[in-house]
Structures are given as structure tokens and as C-alpha cells.
Amino acid sequence: SYELTQPPSVSVSPGQTASITCSGDKLGDKYASWYQQRPGQSPVLVIYQDTKRPSGIPERFSGSNSGNTATLTISGTQAMDEADYYCQAWDKSTAVFGGGTKLTVL
Amino acid sequence: QLQLQESGPGLVKPSETLSLTCTVSGGSISSNSYFWGWLRQPPGKGLEWIATIYYTGTTYYNPSLKSRLTISVDTSKNQFSLKLSSVSAADTAVYYCARHKQLVLDAWFDPWGPGALVTVSS
């Protein structure tokens, strides 16, 4: 079965750029989506089709996907961005999630 | 604004069947643009996709759960439902329903319901 791998944690200082990676075999040949989950809340879609932002998601969230790695980038990170982030792809009629990355804004 | 709401028992005994319903409001479950999905998250762990259904009855299942799963849709009530049989403590999780956008090579989930905690315990 297909697997997606994320780092368990990433730290960033307020105002700096945070990058969260998601690795999978030939992931660049698929599309990646990203979800933000704040403590005690439901996941929220922040990026779909590698680079697209849903309505209402701040422009500081961006995505890329090439080779074996998709990346979620948060520019000018704010304290409110502290959350768990999950990548997701669709493979052989199955939705696959990465294990999640806890973003800490120090 | 589309909203989803999970409902069902919060406590299920081991070996019994977990049953949940998702009620969709603010939009039609019979939309030809969207599927509808179930996902779960064990306490302190990551997200897992369970299954997806289209209003016509087309389904996709997580292979690791398929033998225990039944998913159905009731267009007259704008609802879809999940049944997971022979549950164990490993099935304890927050269960989410979500709208599932499905393309040929891509799929994503948006929005999600608030989630329903289901505990498997005697």
C-alpha cells in the first residue's frame, strides 16, 4: 500500500517561513492536499491539487509537489498557525494520509 | 454554507457493530460534483480514511477495513451512514464525515463535520 511520510515536528519563529514536507514514491505524479488541525478541532483543507488554496485560506499558505516530495510552506508564520498538519494523496482509489507534523511557533 | 453533522452512539461494546450517520445541510447530497466520506482519528494519533460513497451508491473502501464496512446513502434524508462490524478497542476514535471531491487522479476532503467520539469498551 502507498505510504506518505512527514516529519513529526517542525519549529519556526513568528514571522519566519515554515516548510513541512511529505514524502512518497513518485508523489509528484499524483496530487497532494494539506490539512490544518488545531487542538480539539476538525481538520481544515488549506491546499489542494498541490498548489491551490480554498476560499478563506490566507495567501501565506502555499504548496508545491515534485519528484517524491510535496511541501507546504507558510510564509510569515503567525502564532495562530500552530497546529498539526497532514498531507493526503489519492492512490489506486484509496485516500492516503501522512502521519502528521506538529508545527510549533516559538 | 454546507455543514455536516455526525450522530450515533458514543459507546459500543467489543464485537458489536458501530453505526454512525452524517446529516448534510446547506446543500444536496445528490450533487453530481461530490462524493461523501468517512474518516477517523484515534486519540492522539493521525487521520485515517475509512470509506467514500456517491449518491448513486458507488463506493470506495479502505482495503484494511473493507471486510467489516458497510456504507450507504439516503438521498431523501440528505444523509449517509457507516456501519463497522466486529469492533475492538482499536476502533476507538473520533469519526468524521466530510464532503469528498473526487477527480480521476485526485481527491480531497472539504468541509469536515465536527466529529463524533466513539469508544469501544465493555
What average pLDDT values come out for chain B (122 residues) when binned by 10 residues?
96 98 96 93 98 94 96 97 98 97 87 98 96
pLDDT class of A76 with cuts at 50, 70, 90: very high
Contact B96 A43 (CB under 8 A): yes
| Alpha-carbon B60 to chain mean position | 11
Q: How far apart are CA B113 and CA B79, in angstroms?
A: 13
Touching B: A residues 31-70, CB under 8 Å: 31, 33, 35, 37, 42-45, 48-49, 54
CB contact under 8 A, B108 and A96: no
Distance CA A19, CA A16 (A): 10
- Taking the C-alpha atoms of residue A52 and residue A70, their distance in angstroms, rounded to an integer, is 13
User: Residue B76, Cα to own-chain centre: how many angstroms?
Assistant: 18
CA–CA separation, B81 and B72 (whole Å): 5
pLDDT band at A77 (very low <50, low <70, confident <90, very high): very high
What pLDDT shows up at residue B11?
A: 98
CB-closest option in A1, A90, A97 to B48: A97
- The cell numbers describing B84, all together, are 463497522
Q: What is the mean pLDDT of residues A36-65?
A: 97
Task: Quote the percentage of chain A above a pLDDT of 70.
Answer: 100
Distance (Å, whole) CA A2 – CA B32? 28
What is the rounded CA–CA span in Å between residue B98 and residue B16?
25
- Whether chain B has a CB inside 8 Å of the CB on A97: the answer is yes
Chain B: nearest CA to A48, how far in angstroms?
Answer: 7
Determine the Cα–Cα distance for residues B108 and A45; give it in Å rounded to an integer.
Answer: 8
What does the pLDDT read at residue B85?
98
> What pLDDT is attached to residue A39?
94
Q: Of A60, A38, A63, whose CA–CA distance to A48 is shortest? A: A63
Are residues A43 and B109, on separate chains, in Cβ contact within 8 Å? yes
Question: For residue B55, what is its C-alpha cell?
Answer: 449518491
Nearest to B52 by CA among B118, B103, B1: B103
Cell numbers of A94, please?
484509496
Q: Please name the member of A31, A45, A93 whose beta carbon is closest to the beta carbon of B109.
A: A45
> To which residue does cell 458507488 refer?
B58
Output the pLDDT for position B102. Answer: 83
Contacts of residue A13, Cβ cutoff 8 Å, sequence gap at least 6: A77, A105, A106
Q: What is the pLDDT of residue A63?
A: 98
CB pairs under 8 A between A and B: 67
